[in-house]
Structure 1
Amino acid sequence: MSSEIQEESPAGVQEKAPARGPGPTGPRPGGGPGAFMAGASTEKALDFTGSARRLLGRLAPQKHLLIGAMLLGIGSVTCSVIGPKLLGDATDAIVDGVLPPATGIDFGRVGDLVMQVLAVYLAAFVLSLAQGRFVAAMVQKVIFALRADTQSKLARLPLSYFDQQPRGEVLSRVTNDIDNLQQSIQQTFSQIVTSLLTIIGVLAMMFWISPLLALIALVTVPVSVLVTGLIGKQAQPQFVKQWGTTGRLNGHIEEMYTGHALVSVFGRQDEARRTFDEHNEALFQATFRSQFISGLIQPSMMFISNINYVLVAVVGGIRVANGHLSIGEVTAFITYSRQFSQPLAQVASMANLLQSAIASAERIFALLDAQEQDPDPVPADHPEKVSGLVEFDNVSFRYVDDRPLIEGLSLRVEPGQTVAIVGPTGAGKTTLVNLLMRFYELNSGHIRLDGVDTARMTRDDLREQFGMVLQDAWLFGGTIADNIAYGADEATHDEIVAAAQATHVDTFVRTLPAGYDTVLDDEGSDVSAGERQLITIARAFLARPQILILDEATSSVDTRTEVLIQQAMGSLRRGRTSFVIAHRLSTIRDADVILVMESGSIVEQGNHETLLEQQGAYARLYAAQFAQPVDAIE
């Protein structure tokens, strides 16, 4: 199905962004594997403050854990900053005992002070461990909620969003960026809180011991902030470029992996490798610049810290010589000075992690802010009885506003009819079915199911009435039985086997060692392409919807199996409305109505014999397949 939609979409869609997934993509400029990446920039206007504020807002539901972590952090820091003061008192006790007039060292007091120091440091350690547990729980819950919101958002996005985004780029946002955000927050949050509290606590102790020395130490703060700000301003755009380039590289790798056989057949390995090298080189340069620039922060802070240490030591020594401070007080102050500089350096050194986290958060928020599909109507309508009557009433649709595709189309399909839709590539065949399923919204007109406007129905309610067999067989990781029963959760094993027998799946399943319990991977590589298609047909057979959509459902099977499937489909279609998109006209000769589409319009309508007699578009298509040589086709 996806390939058909790609053919029908206007090239203008490509101008917005590279396309992926089912839906319109348009031609790829430049050609060759990986050409979809051309011009696909994921860089956005940087809003560090806004994204950081929004990220902090997601902590609100975990405020009890946040408050607990803050209280534990305050307790831990308080114990930590008391330690140097007690050690300073112990130093003074020793100095007073040996300097004239020597009265002897009071080992009892010194021992008590040492034990107090050990006690407060042990308490700081225990409180820090508890804080780490609270932070870990908080971060994991925040990321859990973010993943859930992202998954829910993907379900609400219209198909057009995925048309305009590389698949690897979307995957990168919901995997790499969220993982990076989780790791960055986990590593930085607790340390930032502890560092900020330490700065406050240490600063208070420094002013208590010596306001003059405290002011000298504070001189380095604005210098540190200025240096960190200047370096961070240069590093942040590189982090944005790093994660944007990561998304583009992932998109290319994903395309090359899924299209490996095609790349090999056309001998495009060198071009694919060159494209990979280009993206890899861009990622290397962005990552190198971001890490190198942000890495300048820590040595710069250490340099400033060393200058601060020298100033404090010199002035402190003078104050001791003048008798304004004791040796123990200066010793404690120097320790506090180191403690004051250390959290500043830690906060600065974490700037690269914070910048990387905010860059990832900005990309995730861009996904969460993407325009969603229109909400379902409330209250919604529902046909009293679904018989399969489908009406298109003056329907118009276009992918791009200035490029019409379907204009003023009207059609009535009676219950139980089999309607075949044929026409050249780009005629609008699959688009017609997509509109019926509300994968896209109409520009004008109405589509009705048993008299009810489908726009007045919920999407789930509408799509429950349909069963689809696509040209590209889709299987998920699980057993064959699970795949067959995908659309019928309550199906029994006997019903699964009956559906498999009706669609000739049972024949090859019984040759497998595990039978219906054979586990398939998500690519279905355990079975052949034709067998995968048979399984998807059995899935539709078991679901038994009121309306069927078959998009070249037999394109992957051999001629003999095609005949058997056609027979099974005849039984499946009996009493149900069916829309069959076909290129091989031999498969739709028995259709009740054949619609011939060109440029979004129905140009002919009738059964096989009638349309051949008219000698029009259908007759030309038929002759192109069965009568005329290739060089005679117009």
Structure 2
Amino acid sequence: MSRGERSPSLALLMSLARPVRGRVALLAVVVVLAQLALAAGPLLIAWGTDAALAAAQGRGELGPALVCSAVYLTAAIVGGVLSAATIKIAAGVSQSMLLDLRSRLFRHTQRLDLEFHERYTSGRVISRQTSDTEALRELLDGGVTALAGSALSMILTVVFLVTMDWPSGVVLLVALVPAVLVTRWFQQRSSVQFRRQRTASARLIVHFVEAMTGMRALQAFRRERRSSEDYTELALDYREANVESIRQFGVFDTSLTAIGNVTVALVLLVSGLRVIDGSMAIGVVLGSVMYARRFFAPLAQIGTFYNSLQSAIAALEKLSSLLAESPTVPEPTRPVGLARARGRVDFDHVEFGYGTLPAVLPDLDLHIPAGQQVALVGTTGAGKSTIAKLVARFYDVRRGSVRLDGVDLRDLASDDLRRAVVMVTQEAYLFSGSVAANIAIGNPRATRQQIEAAARAVGVHDVVMALPEGYDTPVDGRGVRLSAGQRQLVSFARAFLADPAVLVLDEATSSLDVPGERIVQEGLETLLADRTSIVIAHRLSTVMAADRVLVVEGGRIVEDGSPAELVEAGGHFAKLHEGWQATLG
């Protein structure tokens, strides 16, 4: 990395600090003044013992002693007040930076496209928002100021001690050598250990989130015991990482304490011998011993906060990596508006594949007039859902173009696209909140009357009214108060309320039972009327109501026509229709 470049982690930290740089500068001044006030204590005691008390005993002058006491008391109070101010300012700076970071993470994660969310597990995203931001909080809340204050305290201690008695200062500097070696040993090992801790913690969170999210699958396949064993193994790894970290710190702290005690003893010995021969005053001895004891406490704090620093650095690397993710579906640089979409959809020689995988759609040429109801049928993996996702612009094509009313989706303003195209998938996700609020996602400005009208149109009104609080009934996470079919009906009401020009249904009726399908079929007639619709369904009862059926195989359209025409043609769709008729008989 060149001098002009910054690491992504440092660049992220600097960008977070930039809006609060004024308070950071104030914090630096307060830290310096606080450490100056606190470091002056032993020097004042030395002066008071040798000068002020001597004047009081020899000449009966109490003035110097009173002045010394007043100055010492003032320094102590100023140091305490400034230390408290340091904590307050640091907390404000920290929380402002963390608020900025959390907002960036959430906004950026929402901007990232479907491809990112399909490869980046929800557990990893949650780990970035929780454990990684928490690691940074621990550093920012007090770690940075403690590191700066401790380093400044050590420097001032050496300067004041050398100024007061240079031989004692030399002893202290000599003792600094083994202390630095021990600290360096600790830093090297704790750096590796804390990366292991962060990795173990992230894996534990990811496994927990995935197990809770996929609980139905775990229980359906009786994988609870295996999942529990995997979790226990990850928890043990996390525990071992923590135990080793604590052991390393124990060695470091014990070593520093021993070096500090030996140093104090040496300073006391050297000073005591000089007091005996009359070359050193007793007050200087007291000050020297106090400075020697004061010196090693900040060094221990630096070692302690180095743990937080390493943890925060590892977290910053992950956070900056997430924020560096670029959407593969970028916003248009010069968006084209489409205030009132009619719904004509065109695929012009489209080639598309996921990532670097071979093309799913090698060369798709498809034109859907506005208002036409099109059904896509074919085997699993034929490319039906891929076509649907391209219409909603969850992905961009490799070659060719997908156009809405003649406008390339890559040039269409995002708000206009989301308003014009709505996709309803097999998983009808409901957010925490009331039933009415979940339906209103389709149109946040809708009135209660409009919400109820949408529910009636798709046949879910009676279901909602049967709930304890009707439309105000809270829906727990993932809609556990409602059955799968009822959740799907709510998602249909949401789509109806959005009133899009193009409606995409991707296996949206698969979770409905036969009675539920009959109910929703009536609602679908209203929902699909006067708008372009692309319906992917295995149930031919839904397909037979379409104006046009496309049979997709290998990413290509192998049959195209009305349901009646394709049945008459005797091809692939005719065989599907024959099998469906047999099940009805």
Instruction: Give TM class, smaller chain.
Output: over 0.9
Check 1:162–1:121 CA distance in 2 against 1; reply closer, same or farther (3 A cut).
Answer: same
User: Given the alignment, which residue of 369, 390, 400 partners 1:445?
Assistant: 400
Instruction: List aligned pairs for 1:259-298, cutoff 5 A.
Output: 259-298=214-253
Distance (Å, rounded) in 2 between the aligned partners of 1:294 and 1:599: 60
Distance (Å, rounded) in 2 between the aligned partners of 1:301 and 1:387: 76
Q: Which runs of 5+ in 1 are unaligned?
A: 1-47, 630-634
- Shift in Å, 1:405: 1.2
- Shift in Å, 1:311: 2.1
Match of 2:169 in 1: 214
SS in 1 for 2:440: helix
User: Given the alignment, which residue of 24, 37, 48 partners 1:66?
Assistant: 24
Distance (Å, rounded) in 2 between the aligned partners of 1:91 and 1:563: 97
Check 1:547–1:183 CA distance in 2 against 1; reply closer, same or farther (3 A cut).
Answer: same
Instruction: List aligned pairs for 1:363-378, cutoff 5 A.
Output: 363-378=318-333
Distance (Å, rounded) in 2 between the aligned partners of 1:125 and 1:117: 12
- Shift in Å, 1:284: 2.0
CA contact under 8 A between 1:382 and 1:452: conserved in structure 2?
no
Amino acid of the structure 2 residue aligned with 1:71: V
Distance (Å, rounded) in 1 between the aligned partners of 2:461 and 2:340: 34
Instruction: List aligned pairs for 1:148-547, cutoff 5 A.
Output: 148-383=103-338, 385-547=340-502
Q: Which moved more, 1:427-436 or 1:218-227?
A: 218-227
Amino acid of the structure 2 residue aligned with 1:76: A
Match of 2:13 in 1: 55
Distance (Å, rounded) in 2 between the aligned partners of 1:622 and 1:229: 76
Distance (Å, rounded) in 2 between the aligned partners of 1:325 and 1:577: 97
CA contact under 8 A between 1:291 and 1:352: conserved in structure 2?
no
Match of 2:33 in 1: 75
SS in 1 for 2:410: helix
CA contact under 8 A between 2:338 and 2:416: conserved in structure 1?
no
Distance (Å, rounded) in 1 between the aligned partners of 2:428 and 2:11: 45
Amino acid of the structure 2 residue aligned with 1:445: G
- Shift in Å, 1:389: 0.6
The reply on whether 1:119 has 2:74 as its aligned counterpart is yes
Distance (Å, rounded) in 2 between the aligned partners of 1:586 and 1:602: 21
Distance (Å, rounded) in 1 between the aligned partners of 2:12 and 2:516: 57
Amino acid of the structure 2 residue aligned with 1:175: T
Match of 2:566 in 1: 611
Distance (Å, rounded) in 2 between the aligned partners of 1:377 and 1:94: 77
Match of 1:129 in 2: 84
SS in 2 for 1:301: helix
- Shift in Å, 1:95: 6.6
SS in 2 for 1:523: helix
CA contact under 8 A between 2:352 and 2:398: conserved in structure 1?
yes
User: Given the alignment, which residue of 27, 50, 57 partners 1:92?
Assistant: 50
After superposition, give the CA deviation of every residue in 1:65-115 in whole Å (9 maximum; x if it has no partner): 1111111112211211222222222222577479xxx73765554344223
SS in 1 for 2:225: helix
CA contact under 8 A between 2:139 and 2:308: conserved in structure 1?
yes
CA contact under 8 A between 1:294 and 1:351: conserved in structure 2?
no
- Shift in Å, 1:183: 2.1
CA contact under 8 A between 1:385 and 1:450: conserved in structure 2?
no
Distance (Å, rounded) in 1 between the aligned partners of 2:14 and 2:168: 36
Match of 2:3 in 1: none
User: Given the alignment, which residue of 523, 528, 552 partners 1:573?
Assistant: 528
Match of 1:37 in 2: none
Amino acid of the structure 1 residue aligned with 2:289: I
SS in 2 for 1:455: coil
Check 1:463–1:256 CA distance in 2 against 1; reply closer, same or farther (3 A cut).
Answer: same
Aligned residues: 580
Check 1:50–1:520 CA distance in 2 against 1; reply closer, same or farther (3 A cut).
Answer: closer
SS in 1 for 2:429: coil
Amino acid of the structure 1 residue aligned with 2:84: L
CA contact under 8 A between 2:432 and 2:477: conserved in structure 1?
yes
Check 1:447–1:574 CA distance in 2 against 1; reply closer, same or farther (3 A cut).
Answer: same
- Shift in Å, 1:628: 8.2
Distance (Å, rounded) in 1 between the aligned partners of 2:357 and 2:298: 59
SS in 2 for 1:474: coil
SS in 2 for 1:59: helix
Check 1:328–1:53 CA distance in 2 against 1; reply closer, same or farther (3 A cut).
Answer: farther
After superposition, give the CA deviation of every residue in 1:250-286 in whole Å (9 maximum; x if it has no partner): 2221222122232222211121112112222222222
Match of 1:548 in 2: 503
Distance (Å, rounded) in 2 between the aligned partners of 1:211 and 1:383: 80
Check 1:294–1:627 CA distance in 2 against 1; reply closer, same or farther (3 A cut).
Answer: farther
- Shift in Å, 1:192: 1.6
User: Given the alignment, which residue of 53, 62, 65 partners 1:110?
Assistant: 65
- Shift in Å, 1:507: 0.5
- Shift in Å, 1:57: 5.4
Structure with higher helix content = 2
After superposition, give the CA deviation of every residue in 1:566-623 in whole Å (9 maximum; x if it has no partner): 1111112111000111011222101111111112111111122222223322233334
Check 1:53–1:410 CA distance in 2 against 1; reply closer, same or farther (3 A cut).
Answer: closer
CA contact under 8 A between 1:394 and 1:410: conserved in structure 2?
yes
After superposition, give the CA deviation of every residue in 1:399-448 in whole Å (9 maximum; x if it has no partner): 14352211101101011111111111111111111111221111111111
Check 1:61–1:224 CA distance in 2 against 1; reply closer, same or farther (3 A cut).
Answer: farther
Distance (Å, rounded) in 2 between the aligned partners of 1:405 and 1:240: 40
After superposition, give the CA deviation of every residue in 1:458-517 in whole Å (9 maximum; x if it has no partner): 333222211222211111111111111112122111111111111222202222232211
Distance (Å, rounded) in 2 between the aligned partners of 1:503 and 1:303: 77
Check 1:465–1:398 CA distance in 2 against 1; reply closer, same or farther (3 A cut).
Answer: same
Check 1:199–1:146 CA distance in 2 against 1; reply closer, same or farther (3 A cut).
Answer: same
Amino acid of the structure 1 residue aligned with 2:228: R
- Shift in Å, 1:518: 1.4
Distance (Å, rounded) in 2 between the aligned partners of 1:289 and 1:364: 25
- Shift in Å, 1:290: 3.1
After superposition, give the CA deviation of every residue in 1:119-175 in whole Å (9 maximum; x if it has no partner): 211111111111111111001111111112212221232322222222211210122
Q: Which moved more, 1:565-574 or 1:526-535?
A: 526-535
Percent of aligned pairs with the same residue? 35
Q: Which runs of 5+ in 2 are unaligned?
A: 1-5
CA contact under 8 A between 1:394 and 1:445: conserved in structure 2?
yes
After superposition, give the CA deviation of every residue in 1:224-268 in whole Å (9 maximum; x if it has no partner): 333222222122122222222222222221222122232222211
Amino acid of the structure 1 residue aligned with 2:396: E
SS in 1 for 2:549: strand
Check 1:74–1:263 CA distance in 2 against 1; reply closer, same or farther (3 A cut).
Answer: same
Distance (Å, rounded) in 2 between the aligned partners of 1:326 and 1:623: 110
CA contact under 8 A between 2:203 and 2:234: conserved in structure 1?
yes
Distance (Å, rounded) in 2 between the aligned partners of 1:293 and 1:459: 53
- Shift in Å, 1:457: 1.5
Amino acid of the structure 1 residue aligned with 2:27: A
Distance (Å, rounded) in 1 between the aligned partners of 2:427 and 2:329: 28
CA contact under 8 A between 2:505 and 2:534: conserved in structure 1?
yes
